[in-house]
């Protein structure tokens, strides 16, 4: 687990974008696992900027999104299909046939979840899974107490998660109760994971995930046993880390060629 602390969310997102860009340079047909929400927006903007400069190419890239709201079709304005189109996909040269987002309108969610796992395997597995983290430590929509071996499935959102998302829906009463999400076990099978966290509200969850015990009560803590994880933080999100100065020292003193590998 490598902890990369930057002064701002913009700077941390730029580092994350360099990590993605290097992967796509080395493997143009890479498979990316993608998140939604406020956290990855700066990363997507930076990747779009790099694409427009001709520094990154998405023509052969395949993507799998982490989650989708149950009952939301791909054209629903609050669906994650719409989110990804608006904030990322329509701005780059990715092929639509290579884009995968869970089907919130699936009539048989367990059967769809099995198919989604099979699609990931058929694509060769996820090369780089990008993640955010909730204030309670959730990754994807794997709320605290989720099995650390869980697979893609339906989940009921915790009250705090619904409150956190209320601003996107015009009120908590409009937030769905259920989602389809990749499981923690699914996430852990990615060859690399890249987690982003910004702001003081995430500092407690980040500290627990990085320096605390591995526990289902902080789902992101499972990443401690993944062989290749990078965590890009701004100063505020890193505020709870006891060894923050050490993490900064390690990153600043790495060989230049190794920094964004």
Q: In which order are the strands placed within the sheet that holds 192-197?
A: 2-6, 229-234, 192-197, 128-131, 31-34, 62-65, 99-100
Active site residues: 67, 136, 138, 143
Domain that holds residue 126: 2-258
Confidence band (pLDDT; 50, 70, 90) for 259? low
**For the chain, how many structural domains are there in total?**
1
pTM: 0.95
In the prediction, which pLDDT does 215 show? Answer: 98
**The domain spanning residue 246 has which CATH number?**
3.40.50.1360
H/E element holding 99? Answer: strand 99-100
The residues that bridge with 153 in the sheet, in sequence order, are: 181
Q: How far apart are CA 118 and CA 128, in angstroms?
A: 17
Query: pLDDT (tens digit, 9 = 90+) per residue, 199-241?
Result: 999 999 999 999 999 999 999 999 999 999 999 999 999 999 9
Confidence band (pLDDT; 50, 70, 90) for 260? low
Mean pLDDT calculated for residue range 100-108: 97
Query: pLDDT (tens digit, 9 = 90+) per residue, 112-169?
Result: 999 999 999 999 999 999 999 999 999 999 999 999 999 999 999 989 889 888 888 8
3-state helix, strand and coil shares in percent for the chain, rounded to the nearest 5: 40, 20, 40
In the prediction, which pLDDT does 7 show? Answer: 98
Query: pLDDT (tens digit, 9 = 90+) per residue, 48-102?
Result: 999 999 999 999 999 999 999 999 999 999 999 999 999 999 999 999 999 999 9
Tell me: pLDDT of 8 over 90: yes
């Amino acid at each position: 687990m490598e902890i990369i602390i930057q002064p701002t969310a913009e700077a941390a997102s730029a580092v994350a974008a360099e990590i993605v860009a290097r992967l796509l340079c080395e493997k143009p047909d890479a498979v990316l696992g993608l998140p939604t929400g406020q956290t990855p927006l700066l990363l997507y903007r930076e990747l779009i900027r790099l694409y427009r400069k001709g520094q990154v190419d998405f023509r052969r890239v395949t993507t799998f999104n982490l989650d989708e709201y149950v009952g939301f079709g791909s054209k629903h304005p609050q669906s994650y299909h719409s989110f990804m189109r608006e904030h990322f996909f329509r701005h780059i040269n990715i092929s639509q046939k290579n884009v995968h987002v869970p089907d919130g309108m699936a009539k048989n969610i367990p059967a769809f979840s099995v198919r989604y796992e099979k699609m990931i395997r058929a694509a060769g597995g996820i090369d780089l899974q990008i993640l955010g983290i909730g204030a309670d430590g959730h990754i994807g929509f794997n709320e605290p107490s989720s099995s650390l071996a869980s697979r893609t499935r339906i989940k009921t959102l915790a009250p705090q998660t619904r409150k956190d998302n209320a601003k996107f829906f015009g009120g908590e009463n409009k937030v769905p109760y259920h989602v389809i999400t990749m499981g923690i076990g699914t996430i852990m099978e990615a060859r690399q994971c890249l987690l982003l966290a910004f702001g003081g509200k995430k500092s407690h969850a980040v500290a627990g995930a990085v320096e605390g015990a591995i526990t289902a009560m902080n789902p992101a803590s499972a990443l401690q046993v993944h062989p290749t994880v990078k965590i890009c933080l701004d100063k505020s999100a890193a505020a709870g880390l006891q060894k923050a100065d050490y993490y900064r020292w390690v990153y600043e003193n790495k060989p230049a060629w190794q920094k964004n590998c």
